[in-house]
Amino acid sequence: MSRVTVIAHISDLHVTGDAARRSRICAVVDHVNARADGIDVLVVTGDITDDGTPAQNTEAAEILGAARVPTLVIPGNHDRRPEFSRALLAGAATDLPLNRSATVAGVLYLMCDSTIPGRDDGWLSDASLGWMESEIVAAGADTPVVVCFHHPPVTLGMPFMDGIRQIGEDRLADLIARHPNVVGSLCGHAHTGAVTTFAGRPLVIAPGVSATLKLPFEGEGIVDATQPAGIAFHQLDGFRLITHFRSVV
C-alpha cells in the first residue's frame, strides 16, 4: 500500500499587525502544530499579508516560522513580491514571479505566483507555465504533482470573487491535461472552503483564515467575520486527493 501524504492547507491570513488577527492566525498554526507528527507539509496559498508592508511580512514570517512542519508559501494579490521574497522566501527583493518548487515525501509541489502587481485578478505568465512544465517533466511521470497558486482559475458562484479570478486559464488547463500525474490544484483568494474540478482534476479552495466571504444567498455584504478560521487537510493516497475541512474556533 502506498504511503498517504497529509497536506495542511491554509490561505488568506491577511496579517495586519492587529492583535486579534494575529491570535486568530496563531490558533491555526497551533492547530497544525498539535498534529504535526501526522502532517507532511503546510501549504499557504497567498494573501499572507493584508497590505504587503515590510512590518506585516516580518510578522507573517515570525508566525509561520513557528510551524513545526515544512512550510511552502506563495503570494496573493494583497502581498508584494519584493517584501514577500525577502521576508518569507529568504530571497532577494524582486518584481519577478515568485515561483518555487519543493519535493516533500516524494510529492512535487509547484508553488506558482499567479499575482499581477497592482491588480487583484490573477494570471500565470507564459514563463511561469513553461517553468511548471519543465518541473513536471523533470520529476517524471511516477511523481505525484500538486499545483498551488492563489487565484482560482474558475468561477465559484461568488460575483465579487468571480470578477477577480485567474484569467488565461485555458493555458493552465492544457498543461494539466498533458500530465496525468498532476493530482490536483490548491488555491485560496475566495475565502471559502470549496471543491470543484479544473482540467478534470480536483481544484480545492482553502477556507479563509482571516474571514469568510459570503455566497449571494447568505445575506447583505461580502465579508462574514463571524465564521471561524478554517483549514483544509488533504490526504494524498497515491494519485488520489481526499480533502477534509476543519474549523479552528
Residue 30, amino acid: D
Distance between CA atoms of residues 69 and 167, nearest Å:
32
Nearest-approach distance from CB 11 to Fe ion, in angstroms: 7
Binding to Fe ion by residue 40, rule CB under 5 A?
no
Contact region with Fe ion (CB under 5 A), list: 57-65, 70-78, 127-135, 179-187: 70-78
Binding to Fe ion by residue 201, rule CB under 5 A?
no
Site for Fe ion in 113-142 (CB under 5 A): none
Nearest-approach distance from CB 47 to Fe ion, in angstroms: 3
Contact region with Fe ion (CB under 5 A), list: 125-133, 184-192, 197-205, 225-233: 184-192
| Interface with Fe ion (CB under 5 A), residue from 77, 114, 128, 185 | 77
Residue (47 or 169) nearer to Fe ion, CB: 47
Rg (CA), the chain: 17
Binding to Fe ion by residue 189, rule CB under 5 A?
yes
Binding to Fe ion by residue 47, rule CB under 5 A?
yes
As to burial, measured by CB atoms within 10 angstroms (0-12 exposed, 13-18 middle, 19+ buried), residue 146 is buried
DSSP 132: H
Distance between CA atoms of residues 238 and 95, nearest Å:
36
Number of residues forming the site for Fe ion (CB under 5 A): 5
- Cα–Cα distance list, 177 to 16, 154, 180, 198, 201 (Å): 38, 16, 7, 9, 9
Record the cell numbers describing residue 179, joined without a space: 500530465
Nearest-approach distance from CB 40 to Fe ion, in angstroms: 25
Binding to Fe ion by residue 76, rule CB under 5 A?
yes
Sheet holding 4-10, edge to edge: 71-74, 41-45, 4-10, 229-237, 240-248
Binding to Fe ion by residue 12, rule CB under 5 A?
yes
Contacts with Fe ion by CB under 5 A lie at: 12, 47, 76-77, 189
